[in-house]
């Protein structure tokens, strides 16, 4: 037995010296070993099997949920004028305000920075962007260039029933306007416009228009809220009038209403 083992070793050495790969005896497969032990293949090695249920990851879900809630809260505060243009806000201070750690606040503010609402101030926090009336007028012009042609095309092709299906959203904007809360109205206003443009079937157009709409709702520097209670009520009334014109396929009225809507914004 000893001589046989020594002979095998010498043979292996000679094969390596000759440049040939040594012969390795066949090894049992891991699956066969598992079956002999009476366990599911892969279970002994900690591998996932089809019979196992994936482990939940509640911490990641909760963190994403908190970040989303903080982002919504910051957007609301921005539209409501609670975040002053030109002022710098730190993540820890805002975290104390919302009762959370600084991490989800910082992540939410970074998203607002990508959207152009704030800018990063190294070692201090985030500064709310200062915007003037000129930028607001430019946003209104771009929105009109995008949305008016789309609305006129949809007025010719979309059925009256589908337009009528959007009436609850128009009524929701009227209720939001009656509440006098600019942040509530801003959200319902964007929801209504997204629903209108979604009928085009162009997701990219809807997303771009919604981004422009959101930016148009940010406060102006050194100015009181641009839209009072009466302005919100008048704006909401235009939604209902627009639906009526779309159902009637009155293109002239549609063009005039959409143009006036953006001019008022």
> Is position 123 within any domain?
yes
Counting residues of the chain whose pLDDT is more than 90, the rounded percentage is: 56
User: Is the pLDDT assigned to residue 90 strictly greater than 50?
Assistant: yes
In this structure, are 171 and 259 located in the same domain? yes
pLDDT tier at 50, thresholds 50, 70, 90: very low
Q: Do 254 and 143 reside in the same domain of the chain?
A: yes
Per-position b or e across 159-191, b if 16+ CB within 10 A of its CB: eeeebeebeebbbbbbebbeeebbbbbbbbbbe
Domain of 94 in residue numbering reads as 59-128
Q: Return the pLDDT at 125.
A: 93
Encoding tokens for residue 260? 């006036």
pLDDT of 242 > 70? The answer is: yes
Q: How many of the other CB atoms lie within 10 Å of CB of 99?
A: 6
Domain boundary among 77, 104, 128: 128
Burial (CB < 10 A; 0-12, 13-18, 19+), residue 40, is middle
Q: How does residue 180 score in pLDDT terms, banded at 50, 70 and 90? A: confident
> Is residue 30 in a domain?
no
pLDDT grade for 260, boundaries at 50, 70 and 90: confident
Provide the pLDDT confidence category of residue 224 given band limits of 50, 70 and 90. Answer: low
pLDDT value of residue 13:
40
């Amino acid at each position: 037995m000893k001589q046989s083992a020594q002979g095998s070793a010498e043979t292996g050495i000679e094969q390596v010296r000759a440049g040939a790969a040594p012969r390795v005896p066949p090894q049992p497969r891991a699956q066969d070993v598992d079956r002999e032990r009476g366990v599911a293949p892969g279970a002994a090695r900690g591998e996932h099997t089809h019979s196992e249920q994936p482990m939940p990851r509640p911490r990641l879900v909760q963190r994403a949920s908190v970040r989303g809630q903080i982002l919504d809260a910051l957007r609301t505060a921005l539209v409501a004028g609670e975040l002053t243009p030109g002022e710098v806000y730190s993540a820890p201070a805002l975290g104390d305000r919302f009762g959370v750690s600084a991490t989800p606040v910082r992540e939410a503010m970074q998203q607002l920075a990508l959207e152009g609402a704030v800018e990063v101030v190294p070692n201090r926090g985030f500064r709310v962007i200062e915007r003037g009336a000129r930028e607001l007028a430019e946003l209104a012009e771009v929105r009109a260039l995008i949305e008016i042609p789309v609305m006129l095309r949809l007025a010719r092709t979309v059925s009256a029933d589908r337009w009528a299906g959007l009436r609850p959203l128009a009524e929701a904007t009227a209720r939001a306007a009656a509440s006098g809360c600019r942040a509530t109205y801003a959200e319902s206003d964007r929801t209504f416009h997204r629903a209108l443009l979604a009928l085009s079937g162009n997701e990219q157009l809807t997303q771009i228009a919604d981004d422009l709409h959101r930016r148009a709702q940010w406060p102006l520097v050194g100015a009181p809220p641009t839209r009072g209670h009466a302005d919100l009520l008048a704006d909401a009334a235009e939604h209902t009038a627009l639906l009526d014109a779309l159902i009637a396929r009155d293109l002239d009225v549609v063009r005039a209403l959409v143009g006036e809507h953006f001019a008022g914004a």
